[in-house]
Amino acid sequence: MKTLQIGIFGLGTVGSSTVQILTCNRELVERQLGATTQISKICVRDTGKTRTVDTSNSILTSRPEDILLDPKIDIVVEVMGGIEKSKEIIEAAFKNGKHVVSANKDLIALYGKELSELAKQNNCHFFFEAAVAGGIPILRTLQSSLTGNHINKISGIVNGSTNYILTRMEIENLSLESIIEDAKALGYLEADPSADLDGLDAARKCAILASLGFHNLVKSNQVYVSGIRNISLEDIKQANKLGYKIKLLAIAENKKDGIVARVHPVLISQDHPLAGVQYEFNAVYVDGDYLGQTMYYGRGAGGNPTGSAVVGDIIALGRQVLAQTRPDLDYASMGDKAIIDIEDLDFSYYMRLETDLKEDQLADLLSKRDIKIRSIENVNLNEETSDTKKLEKPADKNEFVIITERVREKDFKKSIEELEKTSNSITVIRIEEDI
């Protein structure tokens, strides 16, 4: 019986879980493969560090060439993260005829197409299910089960950390800042949480989902992105009163005249399935022309869910290797549509603003700017407004919550500039209605 030899780069949370799953579920893995498996080498920066997995049989190395130049190793697993170094390693693996499994969304969102082409040129397979939404098998679903459809739209909660924060703000009535500290202590946020809070992590996943779902290349730096730092508890409460939840969504749309790829907070109806996705869970909602709408739900981060996707890839890829098939998965190889600027899209908007204008003056100002109001409430007059808030606000100030009718983003932005002159604070959140 053939033995598939595996070399792993990285032994952090995901690497350790991958090793654990391969070890503990060895029989299950090997029976499905029809081959035995061996972790031949694991490349880490510090071979002396204490590890949670058993590495006593001296498989650790700090020299990449011990894996890349070992002719016995069939599959390279890249779970070390980062971009430049990982790219070099994956390229070298392909050039040395090795197949690759990677969990690296940052890298794939920028170089997925180039790397997939290089893999093919070298007759190697390249799988990266773990790069998006961890344990949810969404990439392979887009690349196999749903391929009979034109995918119209993909909307996802693909960043567990920010969904965790928004959920706790709502349920526990807490500020963003207080949960950020707690989330760091609990391991839901990195010490530097910018990639999560500013939406960059979700933008990388959005780029990969759009590229595979629409067969049209979208790179992470083409995704419009805005994070959750400006979302306050007050907005969450006001949105709830109006029948909405606030979520950070990654949204990709395949339109006739181009591709939309955007990550930003949205108000979505409380009745939408994505509104019920709480805490660190992820969900991806896919709309296909014959399929209709489907939703895929689960844990999008953490060692075990992500390791599960890596091991699933090792098995799927290993089967191809054993059957000696040629690589056949393309990365965004069909379309060449341009990216549509968010300023050319229409939205309804939620606005909360503090102003010394009266309601009729405010309505007048907006209407002169062609902004039609769907609803307006002076929340200062609302008896539920907290006493603390009343004290904070000067008596002559009004606080309005407005929902607008749909308007072109670029026109709306111009009107907001005007409003900003009369307002101390203004929060604007797009409403996602076509979902």
What is the DSSP track for 360-402? Answer: HHHHHHHHHTTPPEEEEEETTS-TTS-HHHHHHS-TT-EEEEE
- The answer to whether 150 touches 256, Cβ cutoff 8 Å, is no
Binding status of residue 16 toward ligand HSE by CB under 6 A: no
Scanning 90-98, 139-147, 153-161, 284-292 for contacts with ligand HSE by CB under 6 A, the matching segment is 153-161
- CB of residue 118 vs ligand HSE: minimum separation in angstroms? 24
- Site string (178-197) toward ligand HSE, x via CB under 6 A: ------------------x-
What is the Cα–Cα distance from 434 to 287, expressed in whole angstroms? 11
- In the chain, the amino acid numbered 47 is T
Q: Which of 309, 282, 302, 300 is closest to 21 using CA atoms?
A: 309
- CB of residue 201 vs ligand HSE: minimum separation in angstroms? 5
Nearer to ligand HSE, 301 or 309 (CB): 301
Binding status of residue 129 toward ligand HSE by CB under 6 A: no
- CB of residue 202 vs ligand HSE: minimum separation in angstroms? 8
Binding status of residue 102 toward ligand HSE by CB under 6 A: no
Nearer to ligand HSE, 185 or 391 (CB): 185
What is the Cα–Cα distance from 115 to 124, expressed in whole angstroms? 10
Q: Are strands 373-378 and 151-157 parallel, antiparallel or unpaired?
A: unpaired
- The answer to whether 168 touches 178, Cβ cutoff 8 Å, is no
Nearer to ligand HSE, 300 or 307 (CB): 300
Maximal C-alpha separation, the chain: 82
Q: Of residues 277-316, which lie at the interface with ligand HSE (CB under 6 A)?
A: 300-301
Binding status of residue 160 toward ligand HSE by CB under 6 A: yes
Residue in this structure with the two tokens 């049209």, named with its chain if needed: 216
* Single residue of 201, 253, 354, 432 touching ligand HSE by CB under 6 A: 201
The number of angstroms, rounded, from the C-alpha of 21 to the middle of its chain's C-alpha atoms is: 24
DSSP structural state of residue 63: -
- CB of residue 215 vs ligand HSE: minimum separation in angstroms? 24
- CB of residue 126 vs ligand HSE: minimum separation in angstroms? 19
Beta bridge partners of 367: none
Nearer to ligand HSE, 300 or 312 (CB): 300
- CB of residue 195 vs ligand HSE: minimum separation in angstroms? 7
* Single residue of 161, 211, 398, 423 touching ligand HSE by CB under 6 A: 161
Binding status of residue 135 toward ligand HSE by CB under 6 A: no
- CB of residue 293 vs ligand HSE: minimum separation in angstroms? 23
Q: Which alpha helices (H) appear in 272-374, and where do they start and end?
A: 303-322, 359-368
What is the Cα–Cα distance from 361 to 359, expressed in whole angstroms? 5
CA dihedral 117, 332, 112, 158 (to 10 degrees): -160
Number of residues that bind ligand HSE (CB under 6 A): 7
Scanning 4-12, 158-166, 233-241, 417-425 for contacts with ligand HSE by CB under 6 A, the matching segment is 158-166
What is the Cα–Cα distance from 262 to 207, expressed in whole angstroms? 9
390 is catalytic: no
Nearer to ligand HSE, 196 or 235 (CB): 196
**Residue in 120, 153, 205, 219 annotated catalytic:** 205
Binding status of residue 159 toward ligand HSE by CB under 6 A: yes
Nearer to ligand HSE, 169 or 366 (CB): 169
Burial grade of 185 (CB within 10 A; 0-12, 13-18, 19 or more): exposed
What is the Cα–Cα distance from 406 to 350, expressed in whole angstroms? 11
Q: What share of the chain is helix, strand, coil (3-state, %, to 5)?
A: 40, 25, 35
Scanning 4-12, 54-62, 159-167, 311-319 for contacts with ligand HSE by CB under 6 A, the matching segment is 159-167
Residue in this structure with the two tokens 């071979």, named with its chain if needed: 47
**What residues line the site for ligand HSE (CB under 6 A)?**
159-161, 196, 201, 300-301
Active-site positions read 205
